[in-house]
Copies of this chain bind each other. A is one copy, B any other.
Amino acid sequence: MNNAIARLISPRSVAVIGASSDPTKTSGRPVAYLQKHGFEGRIYPVNPKADRIGELPCYPDIASLPEVPDVGIVLLGAKHAHTAVRALSELGCPAAIVLASGYGETDEAGKLRQEQLLQAAGEMRLLGPNTIGLVNLTERIVLSPSGALAIDEFPVGNIGVVSQSGGILGSLLSRAAARGIGLSKLIATSNEVDLDLADFVDYLAEDASTSVIALYVEAVRNTDKFRAACVKARSMGKPVVVFKIGRSEAGARAAVSHTGAMAGADAMYDALFRQVGIIRAQTFTDLLDISAALATRRKLLGKRVAILTSTGGAGTLVSDDLGLGGFETPAPDADTAAALRALQTGSEAVLDRNPIDVTLAGLRPDLLRGAISTLLASPSYDALLVIVGSSSLAQPALLVDPIEECLPTSDKPILAYVSPHAPDVAALLTRRGVPAFAAAESCTAALEGMWQVEQFQVQQPSSASEHVSPEIIASLPRGVLDETQAKLLYQQFGIAAPAEMVVTNIEEAVLAATKLGGKVVLKILSSKITHKSDVGGVAVGLDATTIGPRLTQMSRDVEVATGERPQRFVVQAMVNSGTELILGMHRDTLGTAILLGMGGVTAELFQDTTMRLLPGEATRPMPLSHAEAGEMARELKTWPLLDGFRGRPKADINALTETIVNFSRMVAALGNHLLEAEINPLFVLPRGEGAIAADAVVVLTEGQSSSSKPEPSSMVTQ
């Protein structure tokens, strides 16, 4: 663990630069809140205009401080903050927090200020700028002016929070407190001029008081570091839950003006999160919902949920939503039903169905305890969801106590849905270890999150090892390859293409068609024209008798469309069967990804694609493993088309998997030399017959190596 970060989060002494004696002002709050929440270390307000801040002596400047503080909170505006930062750094202070806005999130001048701030910090670590600071609930240390800290007491728990927005940190702090959800540490990283998301995920992975990590993300700025920190957290048994905005264009645009964050494509984040086992919350509310469920450290080992209710309507509502989420709510097995009946609940009780309706038993703790322990012990269920109805509100203990007493008897998840407005009952349940929710969707999301945690398996990196020597790179063509060159490159990496011949005139074309036999495809061959169909440069279903006139017509069409008469053509054996896919790469700020999609216009309308980021460091990517490639195919919504849907022949999945891996080997090996690569269509033939790249695009860099010249070692993949 980084020592400066540890001191930043657990300081024994804090200097507050620009502290005001007016606790209603933002600049008056940090000192007031430190005291209010019981900070036991030393507080040094710094302000040339004040002698005392409350009881505390106030220092005129940083140089006058009686000791080097563990952390400095800089409350000055953007014009002066860097001066204080420099002074703290010169003093040897390990870390500072800069609250001012007006930096990278604004304009060019702001970006420059941000750069100056970083230089002023020197060796000192910086949190911010534009941050609301951090809150260490475990040790009652609050380094923040957040209005949420006006609350007197916070439930302390095992969920660590990192937010890339200060306002959202305040929102999570107050929302969690109201719901009885205990947090350990909260850190707002905001502009991340120095310390970022990944630094604090790494910190929380080692923090003994944290067992779940919840993140509010606008953009991951350093994929490698983030990935490493998340993998570390998982290896420590700590699930990571993320809510990420920038899912729509409007949100992505807003994020840039908020913290200056440039996010990559949202689908890339989906891939990244899936690959490192991060649970992605679909709504902001879910971020706390899922975290609260995971904080119980209970394990969901199946999808069968028992719903115990005393109010039919809410039971129906919750089972309906669980059903939508893919959970099952089976009726009790015979033994469980008999055990429930033996409890002799009221005559109105419905015990042989699920929801299990105990009607009036909600007011009889002994019966409730019996029903809960019966359901927890039942082999029919993997989790228990208790519905809290209006009847429990007058004396919540009659409901809460029996549930709590049953907790130690089982490791299965136990959640609660609170049907009436009863936030106090929900908070009481949550504090006692039974996460309680006010929305059916929250119950489903929480269980889904618990399920995903158990499903994740660390992918073994591909064992493929290869070396593309600088000589081979040097021997490659430059820029846009034509189709034949591209296929040759693919073939070097083991990707099959149809038999084909390059021709320049009718005679050669007829000869080629004769030689290839059967139906052939005629295409223009050009490194300038990438969308051949659009200019009339593709014709299918030809043979030796029809290819001649078609070539003449194609020459004319292409000349009309492009102004240039095509000189070369490819005659290609036509692929007559198989399923059409698209295999490509995508590179943005997050890294390099392999994209697999179903081909054809219908699938395109449904955007049926999936992505995987290449593992390894961004500058030294590794190929995908066969397991990952196989998973990609199975993730397609149209996977059944490859899997024998409606009597279709099963496709050659092995060949598809092999092609995806080989494609990723090529992308990894060529690194920054490769700008674009796509196979469209990739035909996957029936089982045992292979997969064939029927068309190919490759764009390489123009120079011998790319601008960010990779080291030779970056070409070694393993």
Contacts and interface: CB of A to CB of B under 8 A. Distances in A.
B148 A390 contact: yes
Given A146-B390, A147-B394, A323-B249, A167 B348 contact: no
A533 to B, nearest CB: 8
A420 B173 CA distance: 8
A421 interface: yes
Interface string A267-294: 0000000000000000111000000000
Interface string A354-394: 11010100000000000000000000000000000111011
A519 to B, nearest CB: 14
Nearest to A305: B250
A313 interface: yes
Interface string A133-166: 0000000000000111010000000000001111
A473 interface: no
Contacts of A603: 602
Given A171-B420, A251-B321, A257 B353 contact: yes
A440 B606 CA distance: 26
A695 interface: no
B315 A254 contact: yes
A106 interface: yes
Interface string A611-628: 000000000000000000
Contacts of A284: 317, 439-440
A417 to B, nearest CB: 10
A601 interface: yes
B254 A314 contact: no
Nearest to A392: B147
Interface string A314-357: 11110111111001110000000000000000011010011101
A28 interface: no
Interface stretch (A485-493, A564-572, A635-643, A662-670): A635-643
B250 A601 contact: no
Contacts of A106: 350
B322 A422 contact: no
Contacts of A320: 245-248, 250-252, 254-255
Most buried by B among A105, A323, A353: A323
A602 B24 CA distance: 62
Interface string A585-622: 00000000000001011111110000000000000000
A645 interface: yes
A648 B601 contact: yes
A178 interface: yes
Contact of A166 (B254, B313, B393): B313
Nearest to A259: B312
A449 interface: no
Contact of A312 (B167, B250, B602): B167
B167 A311 contact: yes
A170 interface: yes
Contact of A316 (B218, B317, B323): B218
A307 to B, nearest CB: 8
B283 A439 contact: yes
A258 interface: yes
Nearest to A331: B253
A194 interface: no
B420 A175 contact: yes
A102 B348 contact: yes
Contacts of A316: 165, 218, 245, 251, 254-255, 258
Contacts of A600: 602
Most buried by B among A150, A254, A259, A329: A254
A602 B641 CA distance: 8
Interface of A: 24, 101-102, 105-106, 146-148, 150, 163-168, 170-171, 174-175, 177-179, 216, 218, 245-255, 257-259, 283-285, 311-317, 319-324, 327-329, 347-348, 350, 353-355, 357, 359, 389-391, 393-394, 419-423, 439-441, 534, 598, 600-606, 637-638, 640-641, 645-648
25 contacts: A105-B312, A147-B390, A165-B314, A166-B313, A167-B390, A171-B314, A175-B420, A216-B313, A247-B324, A248-B323, A250-B322, A250-B327, A251-B319, A251-B323, A251-B324, A254-B319, A254-B320, A255-B316, A257-B355, A283-B439, A285-B439, A285-B441, A598-B602, A605-B638, A605-B645
